[in-house]
């Protein structure tokens, strides 16, 4: 089990992390979500020993991470850490050697990941001559080439085209099938929803939601009502008691009834505007769950 336990971190007067904690089981993928500045990168840097926490620790297999353990972690930082003048194949081989593979094993692993990530035609090119997307693939290959026990990836899908996204997704799923715990951060919530076994949402330095997407949806069960009223004027539902308009576009309206709103009153109001072509409770997407989670203050924030 990979455990992030009670991490606190401040930089001067700025509190970046306040009790951040979650676990990732072997053979599972954890999506780490949060707005810019929420603390995702700081959390990952603490795991890799690049930032020292004020309190808390990160453990792998029950033991705090040390330098010997971190060598067995495949890490991809948000900022690229590549040598621009080095050729692609040489670079990936070099990173494999840094992780302890001998020359022959490093060369074989480099060849494997060059092929799997679609870099074969660029094997002999200097990294600085690659597109940003292909540089991202090289960075990913460097994280994967040592056959790591754990993967920690900061925005790995950033800059990739759809083919690159599919290649990386397949590679990560293959690692999961081999029992590797994978943590990655991403703003591409559709990918998180599609790939991850569990999700953590970080806001203002605190974990505001954790669990599988289905668990998070169940917590929101019965909250969102989608009503399509093609002829209705904008804001038609905004004055209904106990109803909050989540989104509205060309008569397609998503409503939150947690304030005690009556769905039948909503239906009657829609019919007064003309045709109602769709009326149904809707499971929230991860994007909607994310928006709700980051907008709602935690009990600690309310108390403060």
CATH number of the domain to which 46 belongs: 3.40.50.300
Does 183 lie in the same domain as 45? yes
Considering the domain boundaries, does residue 158 fall inside one?
A: yes
- 228 with 161, same domain? no
> Does 300 score more than 50 pLDDT?
yes
User: Would you say residue 243 lies in a domain?
Assistant: yes
CA 236 to chain centroid: 36
CATH code of 249's domain:
3.30.70
Residue 297 lies in a domain: no
Q: What is the mean pLDDT of residues 186-207?
A: 90
> What is the model's pLDDT at position 296?
61
Q: Each residue of 49-95: pLDDT tens digit?
A: 999 999 999 999 999 999 888 888 999 888 777 889 999 999 999 99
253 in Cβ contact with 226 (< 8 Å): yes
Residue 159 has pLDDT above 60, yes or no: yes
State yes or no: pLDDT of 19 exceeds 60: yes
* Poorest-pLDDT segment among 138-147, 214-223, 231-240, 281-290: 214-223
Q: Is residue 132 part of a domain?
A: yes
Strand (E) positions, 205-251? 206-211, 224-228, 244-249
36 plus 162 within the same structural domain: yes
Does residue 294 lie in a domain region? no
Residue 301 has pLDDT above 70, yes or no: no
Q: Are 34 and 16 in contact (CB under 8 A)?
A: no
Question: What's the total number of domains in the chain?
Answer: 2
What's the token pair of residue 124? Answer: 């002999």
In this structure, the answer to whether residues 230 and 208 fall within a common structural domain is no
User: What local confidence, expressed as pLDDT, does residue 82 receive?
Assistant: 86
Query: What is the secondary structure of 253-282 as a DSSP string?
Result: EEEE-TTT--HHHHHHHHHHHS---EEEE-
- pLDDT for position 279: 95
Q: For residue 222, what pLDDT band results from cuts at 50, 70 and 90?
A: low
pLDDT value at residue 260: 84
How far lies 109's CA from each of 96, 132, 145, 258, 282, in Å?
8, 23, 6, 53, 46
Residue with tokens 């590549």, as numbered in its chain: 82
In this structure, is residue 289 part of a structural domain?
no
pLDDT at 230: 93
Percentage of the chain beyond pLDDT 70 is: 96
- Domain limits for position 116: 2-212
Contacts (Cβ under 8 Å, ≥6 apart) of 163: 118
81 in the same domain as 188: yes
Same domain? 239 vs 184: no
Across 44-48, 49-53, 202-206, 297-301, least confident range: 297-301
Yes or no: say if 145 and 92 are a contact pair by the CB < 8 Å rule: yes
Contact 52, 46 (CB under 8 A): yes
Answer yes or no: is 137 within a domain. Answer: yes
CA distance 238 to 200: 31
């Amino acid at each position: 089990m990979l455990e992030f336990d009670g991490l606190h971190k401040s930089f001067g007067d700025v509190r970046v992390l306040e009790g951040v904690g979650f676990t990732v089981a072997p053979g599972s993928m954890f999506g780490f979500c949060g707005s810019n500045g929420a603390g995702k990168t700081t959390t990952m840097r603490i795991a890799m020993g690049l930032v020292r926490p004020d309190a808390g620790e990160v453990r792998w297999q029950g033991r705090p991470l040390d330098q010997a353990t971190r060598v067995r972690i495949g890490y991809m930082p948000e900022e690229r850490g590549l040598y621009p003048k080095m050729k692609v194949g040489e670079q990936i081989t070099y990173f494999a050697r840094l992780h302890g593979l001998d020359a022959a094993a490093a060369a074989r692993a480099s060849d494997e990941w060059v092929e799997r990530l679609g870099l074969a035609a660029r094997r002999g090119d200097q990294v600085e001559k690659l597109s940003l997307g292909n540089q991202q693939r090289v960075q990913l290959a460097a994280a994967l080439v040592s056959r790591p026990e754990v993967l920690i990836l900061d925005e790995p899908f950033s800059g990739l085209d759809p083919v690159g996204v599919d290649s990386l997704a397949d590679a990560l799923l293959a690692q999961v099938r081999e029992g590797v715990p994978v943590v990655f951060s991403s703003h591409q919530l559709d990918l998180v929803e599609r790939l991850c076994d569990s999700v953590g949402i970080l806001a203002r330095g605190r974990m505001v939601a954790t669990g599988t997407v289905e668990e998070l949806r169940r917590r929101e069960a019965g909250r969102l009502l989608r009503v399509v009223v093609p002829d209705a004027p904008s804001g038609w539902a905004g004055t209904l008691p106990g109803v909050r308009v989540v989104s509205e576009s060309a008569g397609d309206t998503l409503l939150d009834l947690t304030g005690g709103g009556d769905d039948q009153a909503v239906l009657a109001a829609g019919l007064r505007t003309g045709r109602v072509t769709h009326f149904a409770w809707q499971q929230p997407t991860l994007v909607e769950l994310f928006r709700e989670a980051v907008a709602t203050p935690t009990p600690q924030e309310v108390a403060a």
